[in-house]
């Protein structure tokens, strides 16, 4: 039984001893004692283990204090296991992984435990598309991350355009930084901006909103009615660069605006929609059917 295989079974106990030893010992690894450890393969072992009855025990062993297994990809366990294996040695390890381990909440869930072992990222290949030759092609976005226990002055970041540059430190977001900055989960913004506790909610059945073509047609027919129209930007509009508009009518403008037939028609549709709603708050807004419920 190889040294790495011994390490796995010693660390994880009888829980992994049978199947994992067979997978790693027979399929993936042959190690020369005291010299070089080459571990070549894929991390689908975890996919097999995940389907077994001991899944919860396995996740809890890897992340006992965090209890966050379901929020991490399978490869996370191999990153942590590899870090434990090379801790305090001159050895290095690297994994090809989906780039999700460098994004969002997975960053602080995975990399805080790894950095607590005094492990550093010594090289990284940023996101690139990977495809295989299988019948049902699995196209994913991957990264390659190399880990080491001892620190070195220069570290290397490679990009998808085959360029590379040397830096002093690589963060788990795969960007250079003098400090190892990780954004923790938080309920308040790190910036001093107003809190948006509720988004825009027209509750109008779409009748107070206009797309670009509707705006163009309306403006051509009623050029003097532009004072009743303002840009309307929702989250989807902002993210995807869409442009929408809305009728914005103040109470002192209502009589004049209502005299314009297309506006009158839309206001009546809003009124009918709110009257037919089962929510009492919507019904109360019928008397102001010319305005958006919440902005």
Output the pLDDT for position 57.
61
- What CA–CA distances, in Å, run from 56 to 51, 61, 67, 69, 223? 10, 9, 9, 8, 65
Q: Categorize the per-residue pLDDT at 54 as very low, low, confident or very high, splitting at 50, 70 and 90.
A: low
Output the pLDDT for position 221.
94
Mean per-residue pLDDT for 242-251?
Answer: 93
Selection from 75, 24, 18 nearest residue 47 by Cα: 75
In the chain, the percentage of residues whose pLDDT exceeds 70 is: 74
Higher pLDDT, 194 or 246: 246
Crossing angle between the packed helical segments 3-12 and 75-86, to the nearest 10 degrees: 110
Q: What is the pLDDT of residues 262-291, one digit of tens each?
A: 999 999 999 999 988 888 888 888 888 888
Distance between CA atoms of residues 205 and 187, nearest Å: 32
Q: Categorize the per-residue pLDDT at 214 as very low, low, confident or very high, splitting at 50, 70 and 90.
A: very high
Backbone φ and ψ for 13, nearest 5 degrees, come out as 70, -165
Q: Categorize the per-residue pLDDT at 218 as very low, low, confident or very high, splitting at 50, 70 and 90.
A: very high
- In this prediction the pTM is 0.56
Distance between CA atoms of residues 231 and 24, nearest Å: 60
Output the pLDDT for position 39.
54
Q: Is the sign of the CA dihedral 126, 168, 76, 96 positive or negative?
A: positive
Mean per-residue pLDDT for 17-36?
Answer: 44
Please provide the average confidence, as pLDDT, over all residues in the chain. 78
Residue 197 has pLDDT above 80, yes or no: no
Query: In which region does residue 15 sit, left (phi positive, over 0), alpha (psi from -120 to 50) or beta (all else)?
Result: alpha
Looking from the CA of 56 toward its CB, the CA atoms found within 13 Å total 1
Output the pLDDT for position 123.
94
Q: What is the pLDDT of residues 121-157, one digit of tens each?
A: 999 999 998 877 766 666 788 999 999 987 777 889 8
């Amino acid at each position: 039984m190889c040294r790495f295989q011994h390490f796995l079974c010693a660390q994880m106990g009888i829980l992994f001893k049978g199947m994992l030893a067979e997978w790693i010992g027979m399929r993936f690894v042959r190690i020369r004692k005291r010299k070089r450890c080459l571990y070549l393969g894929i991390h689908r072992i975890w996919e097999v283990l995940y389907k077994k009855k001991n899944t919860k025990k396995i996740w809890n062993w890897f992340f006992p204090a965090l209890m966050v297994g379901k929020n991490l990809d399978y490869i996370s366990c191999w990153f942590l296991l590899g870090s434990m294996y090379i801790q305090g040695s001159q050895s290095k390890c690297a994994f090809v992984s989906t780039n999700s381990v460098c994004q969002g909440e997975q960053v602080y869930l995975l990399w805080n435990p790894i950095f607590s072992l005094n492990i550093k990222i010594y090289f990284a290949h940023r996101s690139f598309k990977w495809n295989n030759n299988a019948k049902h092609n699995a196209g994913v976005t991957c990264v390659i991350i190399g880990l080491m226990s001892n620190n070195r002055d220069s570290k290397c970041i490679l990009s998808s355009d085959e360029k590379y540059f040397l830096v002093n430190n690589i963060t788990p977001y795969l960007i250079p930084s003098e400090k190892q900055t990780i954004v923790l989960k938080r309920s308040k913004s790190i910036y001093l901006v107003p809190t948006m506790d509720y988004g825009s909610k027209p509750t109008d059945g779409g009748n107070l909103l206009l797309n670009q073509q509707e705006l163009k047609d309306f403006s051509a027919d009623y050029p003097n009615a532009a004072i009743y129209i303002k840009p309307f930007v929702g989250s989807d509009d902002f993210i995807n660069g869409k442009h929408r508009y809305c009728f914005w009518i103040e109470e002192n403008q209502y009589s004049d605006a209502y005299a314009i037939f297309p506006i009158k028609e839309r206001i009546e549709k809003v009124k009918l929609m709110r009257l037919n709603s089962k929510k009492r708050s919507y019904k109360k807004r019928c008397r102001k059917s010319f305005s958006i419920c919440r902005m």
